[in-house]
Every structure is written in structure tokens, then in C-alpha cells.
């Protein structure tokens, strides 16, 4: 039988203490080991104030990459890192800090990063193999490991799962074993910044048609020898897998080429289907926030199409002059969570806010969700985006998180192993390295609980056919399997 909470006050107190101790233990193992020797570092306070909102409180990554064991794409030398902090990397959304930090302060931050990276290499945190929640004691097992920045996963059946790796590989897990060879002939992706191979989904009628859907960052070709950045945008296609090879590829959504941008962040992108078979997908604002309010632009929107790419004739802006007919909602910043409620068929969405203001939204046709006219967040450098948090004609989020947890993939629980969580929303967080369970009734969040903490940057989550919960971690490149302890 599943673990059941007793009503006795003493038992409740003990259970709550166990939860706190478990979270503390995980946090202590993953945070304090590299930080103990750095507690007096002057660069530590400067980092916390200026950098942690993007790169993580403990350098583990969030909206931007990890700084503990980073790949320095824009130069590994001290001078190159110094220049990136001082002048920013605008096309990736990193602001300039020359007005906020002196040269000495930038050097102090770099000194802190160097020591933190060295300390992390000697730290080997080992997460507990059981978790205690309000409703269940949970076993944590490794389902797959050794992945390269996994982004999304989907189950074809109980013995077959597919996983995307952001650099561009599509991997298969057969009978619990990650196959060493990635699927051949998958599309070329732009693996820069936050771009790459992103979401994956299977057709609602997969048993008969075998269609698999991919979302990725697609770049337009540039002239030979050109030093210009290639314009890019989120693109969707579908295909099939046969003999570990991607075949029958069809492009089902490509934005107008004139809308492609040279920025390398805020691509979105998640995919979900509603009970009628419509396909919904998200595109982030691509770092051009004002585009989210512009119906002639694809970015900063939720789109709805038929699975073959054709446009439903009842889309909300299909008759509006110059509006892109696939647009379903607008005013969305960077939606990286999209899921369909298994009972109501409603579409739910999570999106990254700036510094503060991550959102959970119920998606309705033609609705303006406000970005950047209204927001509960501010710019990463501390400046104000807007004085408005509410405005007539703009939808409020069902829930928002301030400070930002870097909310990412979501899924509604539909299995039988955790009956108390039936139809509850599973929510992931990159920066806070969390999985939360949200109890939603009448389109309101009644309660949320953290059930996993500090195992790594949580990019996606999926309910498996076996009823287990599968958690996709970016760092380490691992997928965890959560099941209840039988009691």
C-alpha cells in the first residue's frame, strides 16, 4: 500500500522534520562542499548580487550555463572572461556590467569563479536514494546516465523511450538500456547559447501512424566565408524512426525567414496535443521582448496547428490582417513548459520570467499574457522593465514565483503508483534544482510541495507508462526514476 499520513500531530511533526532534514542534507552535500573555503571571498557577494539570478545561486546554472564546470565558448582566458562580463554578450542576452562593476570587482568575481571551479572538481556529492514527502517515501533510481545535456523525453511504450540531447542527438532507451548509437539522419541544429535539439513528442495516434515530432533551433544559411551570425528561429518537423534512422521527415512549422534573429536564447520550445488532436507549441521572445506583443512576429507566442502543419480555421487571429495565423496566444516571454490536463483537456504553460516573475498560466485562445507590458520581475542588472504588474486586457498568471526558480518542463501525473497525486501537475526548476507537485482545483493552485531537491538542473519530467516519474537532469546528464516505497 502507498504510504499514508496519520492525523496524529506528533507523526506529522516527525514527517515534516524528515522532509526538512532530507532537503538540508542534499543542499549541504551539493552546495557547502565547494563553498566552505570560499565563504570569505569578496567576489562571492558580488557574484550573488549580480550573476546568481542567471547562473545559479551556487554556480550550477539556471537560465544561463553552469559556471562550476563550464565550456567557455567565448574565450577561456582571464582577459576574455573579463571582457564578456564588462561588455556583455548581447546576442545571448548577457548584459554589460561596466556601469555596475569596477574593474577590481570584476576581477574579484573571476577569482571567486576560479576557486569555486577548482573546489567543485574535488567534491563528489552523493544524493540520497530515498526521499520523504508528505504522501510517500520515494525510491530514487538511475534510469539513464551519460547523456549530453538531455532536454526532453517521451515514452513510446513501457519498454521504449526517446530522449533529445541539446547538441543535436536523438537517443533511444530500449528495455531500460540507453543505446550507445544515436538515431541517424536527424536534422542539423544550431547548438549555440540556449539553442539545439529541444522538445520531442509522439502523435496521439502513434500506434497507427508512427509520427514523432521534434522542435529545434534552425539556422538560415550564410554566405561562404561570412563572419555574420546566422539568423535562427524555432522550427518543428515530424518523421519516423526505422532501424535507428530518422526517415520520412516533414517540416510542419517554419517561421517566415524575415522573422529569424541572430540572438541565441529564448527559443522555447515545448509541444503538446489537446484531446481534439490539435498541436500546440511555444516560441520564446528570442531576447526581443517587444516582439511578444506584435502579432506579425512568431516569437513570444503559443501557436496552434494541425499535426500536418496546416492552420485550424478557428484560430483566434486567422482573420486579422498581417497577423500570423498560427498564433494562439501572445505576450509570453520564454515558455519551456506545456502540458494538457488529462481530464479537462485544458492547456497549461510555464514560462521563465526575467529576475523574478516565473509564471504558470492557463492557456486560452487569443489571450494576451502581458510580457513585457506587465511582469512581476525586473531586469537581470536590477533595472525596472515596467512599473505595471496588472493591466486591463492582459491576463494574470495562475501562479508566479519570485524569486525565479527557472521553471521548466511540466507534466500532469496520470499513473497508478502515486494515486494521491493523480492529475496533479509536476513542475521542474533549473536554477533551484527542484521537482514540485502542484494540486490544482478549479484553475487555482491549492498547494505545492517540493519532492526532489538538489539532484541537478531539472530540465524536463515525464510520467511513464509504468506510473513512475522520470526526471531529466541537465547536469549531470542523467534521468532519474521515482517510485514509491511499498508500505
Catalytic residues: 266
What whole-number distance in Å separates Cα of residue 282 and Cα of residue 327? Answer: 10
Distance separating alpha carbons of residues 262 and 66, to the nearest angstrom: 23
Q: Which residues pair with 234 in a beta bridge?
A: 217
Residue 238: phi and psi, rounded to 5, are -135, 155
Peptide bond between residue 218 and the one before it cis (omega within 30 degrees of 0): no
Give the whole-angstrom CA distance, residue 275 versus residue 349: 16
Please give the Cα distance from 271 to 84 (Å, whole number). Answer: 34
Short-list 185, 163, 164, 187, CA closest to 173? 163
Q: What are the DSSP calls for 375-444, one per residue?
A: -S-B-TTS--S-S-S--TTSPPPSEEESS---EEEEEE---SSSGGGTTPEEEEETTTTEEEEEEEETTE
Phi then psi dihedrals of residue 111, to 5 deg: -65, -40
C-alpha cell at 333: 516571454
Tell me the CA end-to-end span of the chain in Å, nearest whole number.
Answer: 5
Q: Using CA atoms, how far apart are residues 356 and 267, in angstroms rounded to an integer?
A: 19
Q: Cell 537560465 sits at which residue? A: 63
Longest dimension (CA), the chain: 73
Amino acid at each position: 500500500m502507498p504510504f499514508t499520513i496519520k492525523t496524529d500531530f506528533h507523526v506529522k511533526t516527525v514527517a515534516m522534520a524528515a522532509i526538512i532534514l532530507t532537503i538540508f542534507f542534499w543542499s549541504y552535500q551539493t552546495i557547502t562542499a565547494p563553498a566552505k573555503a570560499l565563504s570569505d571571498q569578496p567576489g562571492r557577494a558580488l557574484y550573488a548580487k549580480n550573476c546568481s539570478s542567471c547562473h545559479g545561486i551556487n554556480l550550477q546554472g539556471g537560465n544561463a550555463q553552469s559556471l562550476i564546470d563550464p565550456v567557455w565558448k567565448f574565450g577561456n582566458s582571464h582577459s576574455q572572461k573579463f571582457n564578456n562580463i564588462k561588455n556583455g554578450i548581447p546576442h545571448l542576452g548577457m548584459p554589460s556590467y561596466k556601469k555596475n562593476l569596477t574593474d577590481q570587482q570584476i576581477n574579484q568575481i573571476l577569482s571567486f569563479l576560479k576557486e569555486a571551479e577548482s573546489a567543485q572538481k574535488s567534491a563528489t556529492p552523493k544524493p540520497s536514494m530515498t526521499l520523504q514527502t508528505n504522501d510517500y517515501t520515494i525510491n530514487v533510481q538511475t534510469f539513464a546516465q551519460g547523456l549530453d545535456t538531455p532536454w526532453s523525453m517521451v515514452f513510446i511504450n513501457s519498454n521504449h523511450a526517446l530522449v533529445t540531447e541539446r547538441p543535436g542527438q536523438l537517443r533511444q532507451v530500449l528495455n531500460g538500456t540507453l543505446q550507445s548509437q544515436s538515431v541517424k539522419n536527424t536534422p542539423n541544429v544550431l547548438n549555440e547559447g540556449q539553442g539545439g535539439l529541444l522538445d520531442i513528442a509522439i502523435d496521439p495516434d502513434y500506434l497507427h501512424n508512427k509520427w514523432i515530432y521534434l522542435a529545434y533551433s534552425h539556422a538560415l544559411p550564410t554566405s561562404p566565408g561570412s563572419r555574420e551570425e546566422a539568423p535562427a528561429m524555432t522550427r518543428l518537423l515530424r518523421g519516423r524512426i526505422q532501424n535507428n534512422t530518422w526517415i520520412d521527415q516533414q517540416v510542419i512549422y517554419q517561421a517566415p525567414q524575415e522573422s529569424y534573429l541572430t540572438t541565441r536564447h529564448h527559443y522555447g520550445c515545448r509541444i503538446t496535443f489537446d484531446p481534439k488532436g490539435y498541436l500546440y507549441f511555444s516560441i520564446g521572445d528570442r531576447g526581443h521582448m517587444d516582439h511578444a506583443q506584435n502579432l506579425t512576429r512568431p516569437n513570444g507566442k503559443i501557436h496552434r496547428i494541425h499535426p500536418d502543419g496546416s492552420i485550424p480555421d478557428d484560430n483566434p487571429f486567422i482573420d486579422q490582417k498581417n497577423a500570423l495565423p498560427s498564433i494562439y496566444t501572445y505576450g509570453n516571454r520564454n515558455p519551456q513548459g506545456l502540458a494538457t490536463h488529462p481530464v479537462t483537456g485544458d492547456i497549461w504553460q510555464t514560462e521563465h520570467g526575467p529576475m523574478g516573475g516565473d509564471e504558470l498560466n492557463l492557456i486560452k485562445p487569443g489571450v494576451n499574457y502581458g510580457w513585457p507590458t506587465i511582469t512581476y520581475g525586473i531586469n537581470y542588472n536590477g533595472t525596472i522593465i515596467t512599473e505595471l504588474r496588472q493591466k486591463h486586457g492582459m491576463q494574470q498568471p495562475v501562479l508566479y514565483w519570485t524569486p525565479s526558480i527557472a521553471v521548466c518542463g511540466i507534466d500532469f501525473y496520470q499513473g497508478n503508483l502515486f494515486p494521491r497525486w493523480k492529475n496533479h501537475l509536476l513542475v521542474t526548476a533549473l536554477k533551484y534544482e527542484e521537482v514540485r507537485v502542484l494540486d490544482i482545483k478549479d484553475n487555482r493552485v491549492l498547494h505545492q510541495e517540493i519532492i526532489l531537491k538538489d539532484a541537478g538542473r531539472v530540465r524536463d519530467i515525464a510520467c511513464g507508462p509504468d506510473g513512475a516519474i522520470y526526471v531529466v537532469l541537465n547536469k549531470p546528464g542523467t534521468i532519474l526514476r521515482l517510485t514509491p516505497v511499498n508500505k
